[in-house]
Structure 1
Amino acid sequence: MPDGTGTTIATPSPRLRTGPSSLDRLVRFLDPDEFRAVCVIDCLCARLPPPNDPPVHGFLAEWLRTAARGDTALKHWVVEHFVASSLRAEAFDSARSLADRYLKRGFWGAVWVPDGFAPGKVPECPPVLFGFGSLFAASGWAAFFNSRKERLPSPESTWLKAVRELLPAVVSKGVGLASSLGTLTYDLAAAYAVRRGVPLLLVAAAGVEASRKGMEAFAGRSHEGIGVACMLSGRCGPKARRMACRDRLLALLSDLHVIIEIRSGGNLLKTLLDQQFLQPRARWIVMPPAWQAANAGNFQLAGECIHRVQRISVAPPVTVAATGLPNRAGKRRRLLSRDLRRDEYVYHYTRSCPGPWPGQSRGDYLRSLLEREPGSGHSALDTLSRILAEGRIRGSTRLVRGTDPVVSWSARTPWELMSIRHWSRALIRWTFEPYGIAVRKTSVRNRGGKPAVYVAARFHQRLALEDRHRFQRHEPPSCAWKHEREWRTEGDFELTGLGEDEAFIFVPDSRDADTLQARVSATLPVLVPDAAPDPK
């Protein structure tokens, strides 16, 4: 199935079937009295001081092993197992009332059916599955599994192409999508389901209450989603454990596993292998053309899992600068370094933007990746394209003190970039990237721009109100930024009206200049700093 990039993915044979959902054989739903009891235990556990290991799963498992039923028996059981601070009568009554409210809102609890598993393979954790909506809204569920990826995905990456191609192929089999929220691949699958009206089952890494709120925030209140979690209240232990539990539940509840790119030695690979041992699932496995550490898990899964496996070949993508875009601006003038006095300008460097643009919803961002929209990678070049298309640089309050948005500039030129930029571990990005817009200092000054004021934090309040947006903390050696020679302008900076002699665009190479040429219509000339010797 070609998509115009030279990549081909062989979609799975229509003969491969997922079969009916296995969930009707795996779970038994609790009756109202049983559900109230597990809710009470969960709520009382939430009152305990936070331990490293939340006791709720152990308490629920122990209660399920007893024959105690009814409020009186439950109260006696609670007295035996909880510390005195949790046993006040109002605490029990409050938990009981909360359980009734959960029932009225459509929440349910379920336990595993031993007969649905091979002997000795019934999951021990979680002992109770909490949820809302119908687990049987689809004839089966398919889940996409992919190891953690970079914060800034390229729309042309092989793994993203595979997700983009396989989502409609999976849905064409008549199944729903089982997914989660919080990691890019899970978000993409969930966004596709919402957009296409496909049944969506969300497995939460927190409590089921948080799952419902997350579903409403992601898909809207009108979307009839289904959510499950291993907890009711949301006290689920350390993040790493929550993520592992989420992946394990997703593997267990889905009938078809779509394996995109799994690295070797990770928790996700172990989870998928364990599921095949516990109860095999049908699989579509993307088989890369060559073994790498990032995809070694695919080869291991294909070799060890023989139960209903469909191998899918994927060729490496061919990156194109601007597929299908017309030349919108004509031939934009190219500057040479010798044509300008670099010290007469200040430079606004654009950065990549992991996730949605400012003002863009998460859903629209995911849709742009799924539809391979130009600029959806949110690279520094994409940021520059967006600025030029809008005709303004948006002010921001990020990394500045106060609530007034500003646009940051630097008097350091692109030729000096290597001496001033460094990798920020805290922000997980370079402090500068070689893309941006240069404007003459005189033009910036005419719009209120001035150099930043580098002083210690204690002097912030001494600055005049009209100058506080220029404050930059300077307390060397722990906090020293003077080398950036920053300027600031308040609010948005409009580019309309700037003449060719006032401003220019700079990019690191001619290919990026051609991409801009195809994407946006702008009158400003373009400079490729490395195309000529550094002017003296």
Structure 2
Amino acid sequence: MVRELGLVGLAQSEYLYHFTGRRRSWPHWVPKEIQLMTPMKRLDAILRERQFRAFAPFGAAKEGQGPNGTARVCFSECPPEHFDHLILMRGFMPWAIVTTREHVNRLGGGAVAYVPPQVHEEFVRAGLGHWAVRTEPNSTWLHEREWRVPRPKGRAGLASVTAILIGYADWRPTKVPTGQWVDGLSGEELPGPEAPGAVQLEDYPALWKESPVWVWDSERREVVKYRPGELS
């Protein structure tokens, strides 16, 4: 049964964004190879592998205990009027997987609680630190409007997405093998790799071809939306 979440207000959005880059440090438990990737490379990997990598969030455990909070995939709820604020003022990079509140709810996810330190400590003691964000007078984090999907095994598969957000219109993901083989000279279709001169065809990942693509226009400070396959 599909959950009916009701209408969103002007300060809310049905869209949630998993941004693949932000100008800030990473938790030390995130693998170095992921930390060193550009936002474009991280998005490329998600499209190619059709899955998210999940990690424990900041503050989900007591200091010194390590990343023992439940791994999760994070999303930011973002109305159109708030989008340029995240990118221009808060360091988010315009590279993301876009989904919806309803989809995240169906996956067992939801919005996090923004609570004062003493309440956050209760979440941590209960083993629910991954559902709360600690707020203080000079550090509220409310601009992130964060939603999380717990994934204890550290992976979350992607059957489909609402849209793919990219930073400029001429970017394309890395092509992947299709399983189809042709003669490298004539282009004639071949039954498999054992045939002489066989070359495997490559194409853009299925998610890229099947999904709408939204391009961030930095001058107009808004997204330009393209239909599935229009940028393939």
TM-score scaled by structure 1? 0.28
Counterpart code for 1:453: A
Q: Which residue of 2 aligns with 1:482?
A: 142
| 2:159 aligned residue | 497
From 203, 215, 226, the counterpart of 1:528: 215
User: Closer, same or farther in 2 for the Cα pair 1:415/1:516, shift >3 Å?
Assistant: farther
CA distance in 2, matches of 1:475, 1:489: 24
Mapping 1:165-176, distance limit 5 Å: none
In the alignment, which residue of structure 1 is the partner of 2:41? 382
Query: Which residue in 2 is equivalent to 1:395?
Result: 54
Distance in 2 (CA, whole Å) between partners of 1:398 and 1:467 is 11
Within 5 Å, which residues of 2 pair with 1:57-96?
A: none
Aligned pairs for 1:424-503 within 5 A:
431-463=91-123, 465=126, 467-476=128-137, 478-491=138-151, 492=154, 494-498=156-160, 502-503=161-162
**Larger proportion of strand:** 2
Aligned-partner SS, 1:510: coil
Residues in 1 aligned to 2:52 and 2:80: alpha-carbon distance in whole angstroms: 18
Which structure 2 residues correspond to residues 15-414 of structure 1 after superposition, within 5 A? Answer: 343-351=13-21, 358-359=30-31, 378-402=37-61, 403=68, 404-413=70-79
Shift in CA distance, 389/534, structure 1 to aligned 2, threshold 3 Å:
closer
Aligned length: 169
Change over 3 Å in CA distance of 1:415–1:435 after alignment to 2: farther
* Aligned mates of 1:377, 1:397 — CA distance in 2: 18
Q: Which amino acid aligns with 2:40?
A: L
The structure whose RCO (Cα within 8 Å, separation 6+) is larger is 2
Task: Report the Cα offset of residue 507 of structure 1.
Answer: 0.5
Name the residue aligned to 1:511: 170
* Long gaps (5+) in structure 1: 1-341, 366-375, 424-429
CA change 1:434–1:528 in 2 (3 A) is same
1:437-480 Cα offsets, whole Å, 9 max, x none, are 0111111001111111101111124349474311101112x211
Q: Return the alpha-carbon distance in structure 2 between the equivalents of residues 488 and 462 of structure 1.
A: 19
Deviation at 1:409, TM superposition (A): 0.8
Change (3 A) 1:416 1:510: same
One-letter identity of the residue aligned with 1:411:
E
TM-fit CA distance, 1:413: 4.7
Does residue 1:420 correspond to 2:104, yes or no?
no
For residue 534 of structure 1, report the CA deviation from its aligned partner: 6.4
Say which structure is richer in helix: 1
Structure 1 residue 517, shift from structure 2 partner: 6.0
- Find the aligned partners of 1:434 and 1:470 in 2 and give their Cα distance: 25
CA shift, 1:396, in A, is 1.5
Q: Report which of the two structures shows the higher radius of gyration computed on alpha carbons.
A: 1
SS at match of 1:348: strand
Over the matched positions of the two proteins, sequence identity in percent amounts to: 23
For the 8 Å contact 1:415–1:534, the answer to whether it is kept is no
Retained in 1: the 8 A contact 2:30–2:55? no
Q: Are the aligned partners of 1:406 and 1:489 in contact in 2 as well (CA < 8 Å)?
A: yes
RMSD across aligned C-alpha pairs, in angstroms? 3.7
Contact 2:44 2:174 in 1 (8 A): no
| TM-score between the two structures when normalised by the length of structure 2 | 0.59
Gaps of 5+ in 2: 1-11, 62-67, 177-203, 225-232
Q: CA deviation at 1:378?
A: 1.7
Deviations 1:23-68 (A, max 9, x none): xxxxxxxxxxxxxxxxxxxxxxxxxxxxxxxxxxxxxxxxxxxxxx
